[in-house]
């Protein structure tokens, strides 16, 4: 939204007008509001019914004239106050038989069953009937005057805009048509209508190409108005009864969602309107579902979840997630999942994962991580997601992110040193990991020969690299770029040959390490072993050379291991030759062949 003083003042005026209109709507809604009317408590007596029947019913009279019902005849002429108990029971029995006969005659035996309507001792009654002419107004009519004032203010600021040949004019027309068809709950419409209008007008102001054709305008605005209308009905009904802070919170988030939906959809609408607006459909289903999902997350659920999502969607987060979701869902609507719970579940899972970490990188990476997962998920949906509506399966990429974060977060590094990773670095390695998962989904399945009972090849690979980085004892000399490069190289190498994740004997440590850890240890040991020259060598090598060395060594190690198997001699050879390879790199040579030959020779 533009931040000029005039626009802010205009927006404030618009809001005040809408809320004043809202008060009138509230009054009307209170007068019209349905109220429950209790039914009086009363007894229904078969005996009384039988007495009434015998005394007044023509069938009873006929019956009593039959010889076999002479007792009825006698009772008919006797004051009911003088009937004996037995008389009452007799007449009640005859009455009951007559009722059954009568019902059968009418083809109405006992009535069809009534199973789903719960008997209540009251009826909910509105002030007016549906057809009554009481000055009932639509949402548009209720706020029409106010909206006109707002629109006039807007168009005064933007001379010439009130013209259907101009984008703003068409947007306004689309908005008014859309909101007129949206069934807002009483008292809710004024809370959001102005914001949607402003968001639409802002969007077309900054993206005039957005509103190119009449139909696109109408569908785009209608989709957004419908989506926000549903959410408004759901979460802002009776808004005036909410506590101040809750009212402010809900309204603010829906306003932000309105802006995010318009700006997030703008690009996609410009690129491929049919994808997001839905060819041949009345409303824009993608916009509707994505908007509904976001509103549910922000305004539904319990307090703990809402706080989690508010953290995720703060700043530019909401815009990013909405934009990524609209793009991904428009390209692959199946991302919404069964009963549209897929997208929701993905966001719930990612925010749940990130909530576990205090790391700097975790604070603002949620939206980007969601975008990345949505993009990659679109590439192979059946592989990555599934499950039922009630129990959607966790997206494999969320599981991969979980493995990654668990191994690189600050709390996974014991001891003094840990790398300070940035959001972009973590996203960089996450993308690499996601690509590996897409190529090799088995990376997230338990494999008997790799790791412990809860480990996956991916978690073992990341842990193997991290273990080696810890083992160096020289972590403070490693840049965060080197750490990320090592993790990526380790994951890539293990993807090439899973044997790198199996344990190899470690004579020095007296314990077994994975081959990947052993190879990386060999690289670091080789470089840092001679403490007197290590610092000098380190200065010479720098992180760039070290990264190149790690990448080359692990790549060649995996290649040779895939052909010849993992051998301890290769590890030893890495340790003894690594300085030579670093020197070659520093001299500008590519020691790839050199490394390959040395490792092959050792194998």
Partner 1 sequence: MIRNRMLIAVLALVLAGCSTIQLRQAQDSYADAVQIESRIRNASDSGDSFMDLTAAQISYKKALADLDKVLAEKSGDLRANKLLGTARVMRALILWRITALDFHELSGICQKGAGGEVVDEPKDEMRKQWYGDLRSIGSDLDDKKIFLGTRDLTVYEALYALYAFDILKRINYKSTKLDVQCSIDWFNQSMSHFQKAAAIPGPDHDIQKWLALSNLTVQADYSARLSESVGIDQLLHAGYNPKASVLKAVCPAQDFWDDGEDEKDRAFLKQLREKAKGVGVVLTPETACP
Residue 92 phi, psi dihedral angles, 5° rounding: -65, -40
Residue with smaller CB distance to partner 1, 123 or 383? 123
Residue 478 near residue 549, CB atoms below 8 Å: no
* Shortest separation between residue 48's beta carbon and partner 1, angstroms: 4
Residue with smaller CB distance to partner 1, 46 or 375? 46
Between CA 36 and CA 53 the distance in angstroms is: 34
* Shortest separation between residue 21's beta carbon and partner 1, angstroms: 11
Query: How many secondary structure helices (H) and strands (E) does the chain include?
Result: 26, 4
Coil, helix or strand at residue 524:
helix
* Shortest separation between residue 492's beta carbon and partner 1, angstroms: 45
Residue 228 near residue 191, CB atoms below 8 Å: no
Residue with smaller CB distance to partner 1, 130 or 539? 130
* Shortest separation between residue 262's beta carbon and partner 1, angstroms: 16
487: left (phi over 0), alpha (psi -120 to 50) or beta: alpha
Residue that is written with structure tokens 């976001």 in the block: 294
Beta carbons within 8 Å of 572's beta carbon, 6+ residues apart: 522, 602
* Shortest separation between residue 401's beta carbon and partner 1, angstroms: 31
Between CA 294 and CA 231 the distance in angstroms is: 9
Residue 173 phi, psi dihedral angles, 5° rounding: -60, -45
Number of neighbouring beta carbons within 10 Å of residue 177? 15
Between CA 452 and CA 455 the distance in angstroms is: 5
* Shortest separation between residue 140's beta carbon and partner 1, angstroms: 21
Residue with smaller CB distance to partner 1, 57 or 412? 57
* Shortest separation between residue 322's beta carbon and partner 1, angstroms: 18
Q: Distances from the Cα of 507 to the Cαs of 96, 518, 571, in angstroms? A: 98, 11, 12
Structural element, H or E, at residue 71? helix 70-76
* Shortest separation between residue 62's beta carbon and partner 1, angstroms: 15
* Shortest separation between residue 244's beta carbon and partner 1, angstroms: 6
* Shortest separation between residue 130's beta carbon and partner 1, angstroms: 7
Residue 500 near residue 515, CB atoms below 8 Å: yes
Residue with smaller CB distance to partner 1, 35 or 164? 35
Between CA 480 and CA 166 the distance in angstroms is: 52
Residue with smaller CB distance to partner 1, 135 or 510? 135
The dihedral sign for the CA sequence 306, 309, 315, 317 = negative
Residue with smaller CB distance to partner 1, 198 or 522? 198
Residue with smaller CB distance to partner 1, 99 or 332? 99
Beta carbons within 8 Å of 318's beta carbon, 6+ residues apart: 256, 257, 260, 294, 367
Residue with smaller CB distance to partner 1, 50 or 433? 50
Residue with smaller CB distance to partner 1, 24 or 543? 24
Instruction: Output Rg (C-alpha) for the chain, integer angstroms.
Output: 37
């Amino acid at each position: 939204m533009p931040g000029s003083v005039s626009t802010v003042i205009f927006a404030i005026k618009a809001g005040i007008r809408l809320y004043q209109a809202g008060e009138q709507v509230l009054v009307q809604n209170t007068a019209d509001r349905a109220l429950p009317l209790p039914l009086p408590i009363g007894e229904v007596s078969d005996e009384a019914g039988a007495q009434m029947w015998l005394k007044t019913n023509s069938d009873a009279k006929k019956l009593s004239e039959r010889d076999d019902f002479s007792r009825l005849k006698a009772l008919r002429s006797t004051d009911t106050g003088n009937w004996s108990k037995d008389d009452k029971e007799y007449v009640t029995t005859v009455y009951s038989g007559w009722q059954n006969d009568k019902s059968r005659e009418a083809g109405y035996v006992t009535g069809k069953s009534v199973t789903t309507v719960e008997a209540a001792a009251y009826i909910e009654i509105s002030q007016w009937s549906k057809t009554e002419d009481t000055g009932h107004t639509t949402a548009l009519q209720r706020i029409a005057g106010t909206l006109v004032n707002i629109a006039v203010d807007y168009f005064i600021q933007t001379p010439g805009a009130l013209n259907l040949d101009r984008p703003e004019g068409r947007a306004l027309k689309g908005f008014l048509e859309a909101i007129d068809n949206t069934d807002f709950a009483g008292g809710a419409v004024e809370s959001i209508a102005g914001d949607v209008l402003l968001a639409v007008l802002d969007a077309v102001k900054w993206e005039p190409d957005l509103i190119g054709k009449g139909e696109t305008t109408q569908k785009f605005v209608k989709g957004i108005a419908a989506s926000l209308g549903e959410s408004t009905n759901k979460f802002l009904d009776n808004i005036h009864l909410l506590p101040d802070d809750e009212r402010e919170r809900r309204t603010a988030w829906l306003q932000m969602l309105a802006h995010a939906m318009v700006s997030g959809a703008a690009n996609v609408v410009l690129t491929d309107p049919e994808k997001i607006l839905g060819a041949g459909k009345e409303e824009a289903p993608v916009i509707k579902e994505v908007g509904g999902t976001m509103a549910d997350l922000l305004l539904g659920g319990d307090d703990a979840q809402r706080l989690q999502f508010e953290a995720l969607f703060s700043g530019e987060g909401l815009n990013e997630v909405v934009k990524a979701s609209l793009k991904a869902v428009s390209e692959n609507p199946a991302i919404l999942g069964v009963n549209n719970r897929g997208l929701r579940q993905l966001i719930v899972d990612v925010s749940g994962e990130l909530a576990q970490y205090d790391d700097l990188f975790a604070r603002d990476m949620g939206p980007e991580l969601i975008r990345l997962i949505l993009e990659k998920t679109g590439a192979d949906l059946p592989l990555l997601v599934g499950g039922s509506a009630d129990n959607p399966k966790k997206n494999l990429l969320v599981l991969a992110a979980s493995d990654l974060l668990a191994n690189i977060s600050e709390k996974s590094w014991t001891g003094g040193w840990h790398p300070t990773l940035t959001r972009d670095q973590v996203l960089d390695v996450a993308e690499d990991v996601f690509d590996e998962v897409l190529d090799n989904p088995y990376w997230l399945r338990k494999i008997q020969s790799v790791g412990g009972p809860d480990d996956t090849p991916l978690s073992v690979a990341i842990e193997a690299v991290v273990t080696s980085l810890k083992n160096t004892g020289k972590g403070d000399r490693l840049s965060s770029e080197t750490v990320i490069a090592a993790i990526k190289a380790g994951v890539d190498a293990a993807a090439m040959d899973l044997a790198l994740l199996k344990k190899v004997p470690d004579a020095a440590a007296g314990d077994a390490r994975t081959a990947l850890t052993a190879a990386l240890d060999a690289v670091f040991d080789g470089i840092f072993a001679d403490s007197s020259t290590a610092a000098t060598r380190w200065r010479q090598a720098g992180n760039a050379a070290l990264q190149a060395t790690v990448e080359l060594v692990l790549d060649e190690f995996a290649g040779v291991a895939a052909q010849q198997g993992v051998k301890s001699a290769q590890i030893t050879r890495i340790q003894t030759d690594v300085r030579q390879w670093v020197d070659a790199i520093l001299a500008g040579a590519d020691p790839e062949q050199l490394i390959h030959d040395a490792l092959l020779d050792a194998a």
